[in-house]
Structure 1
Amino acid sequence: MLPTTFVGVLVLLMVVTPGILLESLRQRAQPTRSDSAFLETARVLAAGVLLSAIGLLLMSTLAVVSPRAIIDLRSAMVDPLYVPGHLLLTLYSLVLFLAFTTTLAGVYSSIFLYPGILGPIAQESAWVSVFAGLLDRLNREQAGELAGRTIRTQVQVELKSGPVFIGTRDAFTVNEAMEGRELVLATPLFTVKEDGSVVAMETGWQRLIFAQSEIAVIRVRFAPNPNGARPVTKEPRSARALRMLADLFRSPRWLALLLVAELALPALSGHIF
């Protein structure tokens, strides 16, 4: 049965939010399984209830150490006029509770979900990760070595029927289902003979279009384009700051320090004010 009152819906959201976050982090760190909707919902609720219980324990500890830092939990549950009379403090306490539970979800995922895994699992197709994500990362990491040049993505496509082609990646579809996607190669275009020799295609052929359903293997090589120059641009400070912040939030040490700060700052502010 779903809650019908505003307070009931608010409590449900407060409990479910950390569970949804932890489930999302789990899907990024562990291979996807074809679980039923019931099992996924049960995981979200179980994680949410557990994290909320720990969050309530932290809130209770904070209330004992610094009673003025957050709302009086007992009065909020017993006195119907307490919450309307302390709206700002109630909102602040709810935000603090969410900060506790979501940080706890991050700490758990960074410690227990990633052992043995070299990197996060992408929830997208491999050729989107390679052709777009990896290419962008290489452009950032090798900006100094490239000296304003572009990176050319050379692709070797081996078809299920046997022929092998080499060209420069031009375009690829991402919005269609996998069986409906296509890959386009641009000049210079080559074919690979059975003896392994590479032969240039006749002049005049501009593009090769391959249906994903006909491709057996895709081999990718990134190389600086000697003829392709671009304006030398630096990564925006905002983007660099967000990337550094995301890296910090993947560290169990920094997440633990953040949790300590979330506890210490309200406690100190309660004593000061």
Structure 2
Amino acid sequence: MIPEGFATLYAFLGLVAPGLLFQFLRERARPALEETAFREASRVAITSLVFTTASIWILALVSRALPGALIDLSEWIRLQSVYVGNHLWLVAWSVLAEVGLACLIAWLVAAALAKWFDDSGGRYSKTSVWHLAFSASKPDGKAAWVEVRLADDSKAWGYIHYFTTDLSLEKRELSLKGPGLAVQPKGGDLKELDRTYLVIPGPEIRRIGVSFKDTPC
């Protein structure tokens, strides 16, 4: 038999999995809620309970139509560990089927909510917009070329060399490289730079324009 500690762990993960999946899918269609850890955990637990209960009812109907395909829930409750010992693989299969069905119901409900109530037409992401614009959306064989407008209304141009995304804007940095690395002071002329990189602190950045060009040699 499975040790009690492992069985408890797997049972816990199986119970919370539908709620976690549902919340993950919902956060792809709308912004995540700002709430305490307790409220977030409670929301996951409640949604998991709803989907798990629905899947148990469905499987109970299936077991009545197909005797022996799934566990006899009343016998499991009555005999407990004795029933598990005598029907270990059937119990494992039934639990797996229940968790899978609960996750499927969670996915269907999330998809229905996204279709009927989320009319934004797009998706939200916790990933930095810098990453999405500079890297994730970059076509194959292309490199991100940017125009950066700074706080003093000067501008800088160059290929993206390096950027930080896991920090606040006050601590971020953006590094540009050539060929074509250039700057233009406010009211001045454009000047190409012969240096290797140009590092711009995040607080100085006011706007970034992005285009994609052939990868420089």
Place the TM-score, normalised by the shorter chain, in its bin. Answer: 0.7 to 0.9
Q: Give the aligned residue type for 2:132.
A: S
TM-score by length of 2: 0.86
- 1:201 counterpart (168, 176, 192): 192
Any idea what the Cα deviations from partners look like across 1:112-157, whole Å, max 9, x if unmatched? 135323333111110011212111xx22xxxxxxxxxx21211011
What is the aligned length? 210
Q: Give the aligned residue type for 2:120.
A: I
For structure 1, which runs of at least 5 residues remain unmatched after alignment?
140-149, 229-273
Aligned to 1:129: 132
Q: In the aligned structure 2, how far is the partner of 1:213 from the partner of 1:169?
A: 18
Q: In the aligned structure 2, how far is the partner of 1:208 from the partner of 1:108?
A: 49
Aligned to 1:97: 98
Any idea what the Cα deviations from partners look like across 1:26-61, whole Å, max 9, x if unmatched? 222211231112221121011011101111111111
Any idea what the Cα deviations from partners look like across 1:207-247, whole Å, max 9, x if unmatched? 1101112211111011234x65xxxxxxxxxxxxxxxxxxx
Q: In the aligned structure 2, how far is the partner of 1:207 from the partner of 1:8?
A: 55
Aligned to 2:182: 190
Checking the alignment, whether the CA contact within 8 Å between 1:190 and 1:198 is kept in structure 2 is no
Percent sequence identity over aligned pairs: 24
SS at match of 1:49: helix
TM-score by length of 1: 0.70
Q: In the aligned structure 1, how far is the partner of 2:173 from the partner of 2:6?
A: 49
* Structure 1 pair 176–193 and aligned structure 2 pair: CA distance change class (3 A): closer
**2:204 counterpart of 1:214:** yes
Q: Give the aligned residue type for 1:169.
A: I
Aligned to 2:153: 162
For structure 2, which runs of at least 5 residues remain unmatched after alignment?
none
Checking the alignment, whether the CA contact within 8 Å between 2:155 and 2:184 is kept in structure 1 is yes
Aligned to 2:51: 51
Range 153-162 or range 7-16, more displaced: 7-16
- Structure having greater relative contact order (Cα 8 Å, sep ≥ 6): 1
Q: In the aligned structure 1, how far is the partner of 2:211 from the partner of 2:7?
A: 56
Q: In the aligned structure 1, how far is the partner of 2:198 from the partner of 2:121?
A: 35
